[in-house]
Structure 1
Amino acid sequence: MTNSRVAIVTGGSRGIGRRTAERLAGDDHAVVIAYAGNQTEADAAVVAITGAGGRAVAVQADVADEKAVQELFDTAEQTFGGVDVVVHAAGTMVLSPVADLDLDALDRMHRTNIRGTFVVAQQAARRLRPGGAIINFSTSVVGLGLPGYAAYAASKGAVEALTLILAREMRGRDVTVNAVAPGPTATALFLDGKDEETIARMAAQPPLERLGTPDDIAEVVAFLAGPGHWVNGQVIRANGGIV
């Protein structure tokens, strides 16, 4: 048991989630990394954190499975003494015009992105200690309205609605609830399948004229997890100024 803060990071084995886990560990959070299936990457994230002097464990959990998520929170409490921060970065994306989308893909995406967010938020609402923070992930595409992203943006619009309402339901608990909505960010998931011309065009969109990085997003999360405690019930569009 420890008196320092404890964070659960879903989707914490790679990309934005992993960098966020490392960033929070650097702020003296003990970190529980939840991963869907890639134990090798999750273990590597734990090694990176512990090798730098931090504390971390990895737990496999399907975020849409309420029993698995309950056990995830149980592990955090049993290993580190409680839960103060929940960063829900796990998600999935299928791109397709509305007319062509496979509805099975729609159901899978909504299971992870909507049900998964709700299940994680439900446990967080029940268990977070005073002074805590719940940080969900949306996407700037909700506002940009790019063709091909309808189903994904719809799932993340649901995340935004849940975030704003839960912030109000946590009245009196001293727990904040916010969402981070990244724009194009240079992760393996984003870059995969895109040619150099497409990447260059998207990098030129923000006034800062580059893609975001996992570090950019992790800094926003770290702020909301600690010093940004007066920010509550907000969606932070971390996209370099794309409108």
Structure 2
Amino acid sequence: MSSNQSLSGKVAVVGAGAKNLGGLISRTLAEAGAKVVVNYHSDGSRNEAEATVKAIETAGGEAVAVQGDLASLEDVERVFATAKEQFGGADIAVNTAGMVLRKPIIETTVAEYDKMFEVNSKTAFLFIREAGKTLNDGGKVINVVTSLLAAFTDGYATYAGGKAPVEQFTRAAAKEFAPRMISVNCVAPGPMDTPFFYGQETPERVTFHKSQAMGNDLTKIEEIAPIVKFLVTDGSWITGQTIFANGGYTVR
């Protein structure tokens, strides 16, 4: 393990923590000393979750994988209960769950709308709710949103729209949880260099997105995980905020 043990004795629940950004956050928090509950959505990501747990254990840390659909209250409760059962409780809750869709409003079906708000909005609400009920005093809650919240663009109505309520959940929770010194924040990456992004874009639009940020590049997951680590360690006085980490892609 890393010599940096700033989270020694802490327990983190990482929603959608098996792969991509979620997987890196799981490993980053473990490297800092936290015990990690790695949530994964379904059997399709079981192998990635188990690989993340193995990587943490190989490095000398402790972790456990638990399946759960974060849009299901029963599953969310079970994920947080796993932290209690395995490690005695939880101090950190990071939700990276999300689903992207690029589609004009007039072509978007009601079923697509419902699914996008279920994955991007309902999951965050239930995650924050359960974190507020179960985290130890002094805990930290982070939801990953999107820099499209500060954009003026087409095609992403249900993605940006589905993430937009999370800011309001965050602000309310930050006030409500403040007496227990629990901070609640959002991190808003720019378009990220992951499969999550490329499936929705043409090569021409990828080039455009790159051109809008420093270095003519997309956001890397390696640029986001340290911000999450900062918010759960030295940045604990920050609460109720949305941090746009996007290399200048968008601003408010």
**TM-score normalized by the length of structure 1:** 0.95
Contact 2:14 2:38 in 1 (8 A): yes
Deviations along 1:13-49, one digit per CA (max 9) or x if unpaired, are 1111111111111110111011111211111111111
Query: Paired residue for 1:46, among 46, 50, 53?
Result: 53
3-state SS, counterpart of residue 56 of structure 2? helix
Query: Paired residue for 1:13, among 11, 18, 25?
Result: 18
Q: CA RMSD in A?
A: 1.3
The alignment-based identity, stated in percent, is 37
3-state SS, counterpart of residue 170 of structure 1? helix
Q: Which runs of 5+ in 2 are unaligned?
A: 1-7
Query: Paired residue for 1:173, among 172, 177, 180?
Result: 180
3-state SS, counterpart of residue 179 of structure 2? coil
The letter of the residue matching 1:147 is D
For residues 211 and 144 of structure 2, what CA distance do their matches in structure 1 show?
23
Task: Find the counterpart in structure 1 of residue 143 from structure 2.
Answer: 136
Deviations along 1:122-171, one digit per CA (max 9) or x if unpaired, are 11001111221000111110111220001111111101111111101112
For residues 227 and 23 of structure 1, what CA distance do their matches in structure 2 show?
15
Deviations along 1:21-78, one digit per CA (max 9) or x if unpaired, are 1111111011101111121111111111111111111100010111111111111111
For residues 88 and 193 of structure 1, what CA distance do their matches in structure 2 show?
22
For residues 103 and 197 of structure 2, what CA distance do their matches in structure 1 show?
15
For residues 199 and 163 of structure 2, what CA distance do their matches in structure 1 show?
21
Task: Please state how far the C-alpha of 1:241 moved relative to its aligned partner.
Answer: 1.1
Q: Cα 1:118–1:175, aligned 2, differ >3 Å: closer, same or farther?
A: same
For residues 231 and 89 of structure 1, what CA distance do their matches in structure 2 show?
19
Task: Find the counterpart in structure 2 of residue 214 from structure 1.
Answer: 221
3-state SS, counterpart of residue 248 of structure 2? coil
**What is the correspondence of 1:189-228 to structure 2 with a 5 Å cutoff?**
189-192=196-199, 194-228=201-235
For residues 176 and 104 of structure 1, what CA distance do their matches in structure 2 show?
34
3-state SS, counterpart of residue 59 of structure 1? strand
Task: Find the counterpart in structure 1 of residue 240 from structure 2.
Answer: 233
For residues 132 and 208 of structure 2, what CA distance do their matches in structure 1 show?
40
Number of equivalenced pairs: 241
Answering whether residue 34 of structure 2 is matched by residue 29 of structure 1, we say yes
Contact 2:101 2:200 in 1 (8 A): no
3-state SS, counterpart of residue 86 of structure 1? strand
Query: Paired residue for 2:82, among 62, 67, 75?
Result: 75
Task: Find the counterpart in structure 2 of residue 91 from structure 1.
Answer: 98
For residues 43 and 134 of structure 1, what CA distance do their matches in structure 2 show?
24
Q: Which runs of 5+ in 1 are unaligned?
A: none
For residues 145 and 207 of structure 1, what CA distance do their matches in structure 2 show?
19
For residues 196 and 49 of structure 1, what CA distance do their matches in structure 2 show?
35
Query: Paired residue for 1:183, among 183, 190, 197?
Result: 190
Deviations along 1:69-93, one digit per CA (max 9) or x if unpaired, are 1111111111011100000101112
Task: Find the counterpart in structure 2 of residue 102 from structure 1.
Answer: 109
The letter of the residue matching 1:153 is A
Contact 1:124 1:134 in 2 (8 A): yes
Contact 1:208 1:241 in 2 (8 A): no
